Structure 1
Amino acid sequence: MSVQRGMHKPIALLLIVLQMTVILAVAAPAGAWDDVPLPPPSIFLLATPQGEDILVTWTAVPQDEMFGISFLNLTRAAADGSGAISIAWLPAGSTAFLDQDVEPGVSYRYRLLIVHEVDHPAYDLWSSSEMSIRTDAVAPGAPRDLHAEAGGSQVNLTWLPPLDDGGGSIYNYTVCVGDSADDLRPLMNVRSFDFNLMGGCTVRNLTNGHEYFFAVRAVNTVGPSDLSYAVSIIPLDSPTLTVSCHDLGDGDFDISLHWEPPEPGEVALIGYELHIENVGINSTVLDLGPQDTNYTFELRGAFGECLLFRVRAIYADNASSFSNSEELQFGMYEEWVDWDHYLLSGAVMAVLVLAGALTWGVHRRRRG
């Protein structure tokens, strides 16, 4: 009997291995989530000092029956996100809470969790944006290193956040524009979430050949910062880029780029720069002549790479204008990593090991 009991653990472990291998090898049935509602909407949260307290507000959580909202759970943590605790359980229709249990000079981070009845992994972490604040927060410092790149009838702006957020999370940037650095007006707002993704914004519908001045303010719940320093730029007509890719087999690709030259204008075109960025790895810049409108190269061993292409038209007087961006994403090459083959082999191996273990167990019991 002791031998039989000893066999239970290895057999059970082997059965688990076999079960998990089969699960990995069999795809989930199509349409498994067809009846699930659309992804949940974003909940935008703000935290504002109110004397010695902190007022937390948020956009209304949708009360649609399909979401099945039960209640809201407001949490508070340290500024680095550690030590999160629940400070209030609130009705589903609530949009504000006054936190009176705070200490002066201490930064707190708030987040709202939505408790619902939707059975889908996309909803498991449905919550609001997060915001940090302290009771003595002030307006932030100005954004840094504002930079402008011209394209056809548009300008791409990038900047860095201020060194000092004033003790409160920056939730918005205000882009200002004008005909001089001393005459700027608000043009558009950029949410901090979008800024963190893009590092800036694109201003469109501008007039080619006209000089524009731009500056940016940072905003927290106390108020706006001073303006950043202003930059000036003149949008000019830009090239139009197209990219094609031909699979040569075994992870090799033939890549062809073609761009339509910008329309002739008052400023002379003196050449192009071809920018090829292997996202997250390196960048290459090639200098080309004003008559060049094509470029072809062979990419060998593409393995999960993402290439981003842009063409920069170089004009006289140090002016320039970027084309549209084109992206090529290469996956893991199927002939290199044949997952179906490996999963099937794993399932067969698990069955063979299990059969051997069972045979050995029967043999031991007979001998015992």
Structure 2
Amino acid sequence: MKESSSKSKQWKPFTANCCSSKDQIIFTNISRCKTSRSDFSKNIAPLSSFKRLSYSDLSGSSSLRINKDIAQSFDPDLYDFQLSELHAITQNFSSTFLLGGGEFGRVHKGYIDDKLRQGLKAQHVAVKLLDIEGLQGHREWLAEVIFLGQLRHPNLVKLIGYCCEDEERVLVYEFMPQGSLENQLFKRLTSLPWETRLRIALDAAKGLSFLHGAEKPVIYRDFKTSNVLLDSDFTAKLSDFGLAKMGPEGSKSHVTTRVIGTDRYAAPEYISTGHLTTKCDVYSFGVVLLELLTGRRAMEKTRPETDQNLVDWSKPYLSSSKRLRYIMDPRLAGQYSVKGSKEMALLALQCISLNPKDRPTMPTIVETLESIQQWMSMRTRTHGYPKIIPDFNTLDLISNKSEL
């Protein structure tokens, strides 16, 4: 799928009038969206003031509903499903079609035929049934609907529809046949080829660059391999926007927020201060680059204590081509570009810098990865590729030779 033209109209976040009382914000009157849990309406004082709502309000509010005004701002291809329709799509959320699950709830595979809704094509879908015990689950569901209801990009997973009926919160996405990058990289017997890893990194970088480039930057906040999904052609798309947040506005340099996310991917300054900027996403991206290079998880507690943290373990190897070979994923069997891996390692080293100002921006990262890809493509046409790297046991015999 081709990336949208840079000249296309820039996305602007939707804001809507809503009633407010202190930190309590309520959207009114979405069709069939009734928050029946009593916790969602506790401590709501008489509403006396009004303000404009932005995405940043989502993380601070304790009671949220979508109203019709917001629904009208969504992409016209976004559908408001009935729960009965989703039961039919998934055969009553059958365990036979369970794709996965976790703290967020369960994901089932489903099938929509072209007779379900006018204009909706027949297709397989992924249906996420969220566990909304407590307020955080509802807020994350709402954030996903609002963000993906308005954001469209080739490297963001497409939200097809949602359901808010009684106590159920459901999201319906396009089905991604190759699953997550986490599964492909760590749980399959066959290894991802080097060229595919590079392309996935570039796709994910384009998705983050799009988010950061909005008029009001969107900070993804939870970039990791399990949130990078792959379609049938291994095109990478970002998923799970439940923790996404609007970036700083005006003269502000950061957003201060409660620290949530996955700590092994989270930027050190975010963990220590709660200060959130787009450079926090860049750090997380650097960690994923290291996982693509080494084939190791960001944290592996089964290893010796000094080797458990991927960032700390890999740093001494990243600036030297000769040392880098020792930490490259052995499942690649030497079939990778030495120059390409070196450039990716140097990029990862910049991304995981302790000083956020020293980290590159996502557009710069996209340019760097594109140049690596272009160089590899040219080398393939002129010299043939891949080139086999000698086994690690013979590296001392070629240590004085020039790089391949």
What TM bracket, shorter-length normalisation? under 0.3
TM-score under structure 1 length normalisation: 0.26
Bigger relative contact order, structure 1 or 2 (CA pairs below 8 A, ≥6 apart):
1
Structure with the higher helix share, 1 or 2 = 2
Structure with the higher strand share, 1 or 2 = 1
